[in-house]
Amino acid sequence: MHRFANPTRFLRIAAAVQPWVMWITVALFGAGLYMALFTAPADYQQGESVRIMYVHVPAAWMGMFCYAAMAVASAVALIWKHPLADVAAKATAPVGAAFTFLSLATGSLWGKPMWGTWWVWDARLTSMLILLFLYVGYMALQGAFDDRARGAKASAILALVGAVNLPIIKFSVDWWNTLHQPASVIKMGGPSIHASMLWPLLLLALAYKGYYIWVLLVRMREELTANKVRILRLKQVHGG
């Protein structure tokens, strides 16, 4: 990975990859949304409201995936001092927070007709809410110090400590008696969901993943460019 530690090399690779990721993401979104809205059947119990699942479930997966990626990048930044790791973690945080918020919002929209309430202090819902707070805390710590290095270190430690919440989210429906339904796609015995509903769900999950990679590259390029400008200004100030 140290081959890509050079920001200039990374910027060159990212500039070449970014358009491909963008168009692949758009194609996956188009196919996934078409199947979710027009070819997937309504659920025999949930009716048409089941279509919220195609937005909600991939968003929940991505909220967890982005936090795991942020925690790994933070560990690499702390242990190996990789110059791009902290930039990647910082770029991931708002994207992961957006996915987590989308998961909570769509879950609430689904919960009202299904459970009769917008919110319950269910183990899965509460642990996802904690995940959102961890994202917000990470971003707040990034800007809480005048010394950028101290802010990066403090937020990286929070990301690593908060990673303990990920298995809690995943297994909360198994460990506690909750209203949230158990896993139906990622499970030991294989998916228990019909292929007509599974395919649009997987396509949209891939679209969300592509969107994350796309935005990650954009944000990292912007951050690295801003760092270059900042360094040049410091040189000008000290030189003057």
Residue 110 DSSP SS3: helix
Compute the distance between CA of residue 156 and CA of residue 24 in angstroms, rounded to an integer: 31
Q: Give the number of C-alpha atoms closer than 13 A to the C-alpha of residue 86, restricted to the C-beta side.
A: 20
**Which residue range(s) make up the domain with 96?**
17-182+189-239
Instruction: Give counts: helices (H), strands (E), the chain.
Output: 7, 0
Q: For residue 49, is it within any domain?
A: yes
Q: Taking the chain (240 residues) in consecutive chunks of 10 residues, what is each chunk's mean pLDDT?
A: 71 94 98 95 82 94 97 95 91 98 94 84 91 97 88 95 94 68 57 82 97 97 86 72
Q: For residue 65, is it within any domain?
A: yes
pLDDT score of 193: 80
Q: How many domains does the chain have?
A: 1
Q: For residue 64, is it within any domain?
A: yes
pLDDT score of 186: 57
pLDDT score of 187: 53
Compute the distance between CA of residue 42 and CA of residue 209 in angstroms, rounded to an integer: 25
> Which residues sit opposite 43 in a β-bridge?
47
Q: For residue 2, is it within any domain?
A: no
pLDDT score of 40: 92
Burial status of residue 100 (CB atoms within 10 A of its CB: 0-12, 13-18, 19 or more): buried
Give the tens place of pLDDT for each residue, 31-90. 999 999 999 998 877 888 889 999 999 999 999 999 999 999 999 999 988 889 999 999
Q: For residue 9, is it within any domain?
A: no
Q: For residue 170, is it within any domain?
A: yes
Q: Are 91 and 216 in contact (CB under 8 A)?
A: yes
Q: For residue 123, is it within any domain?
A: yes
pTM score of the predicted model: 0.90
Q: For residue 157, is it within any domain?
A: yes
pLDDT score of 212: 98
The full DSSP string for 12-54 is HHHHHHHHHHHHHHHHHHHHHHHIIIIISPPBTTTBGGGGGHH
pLDDT score of 112: 85
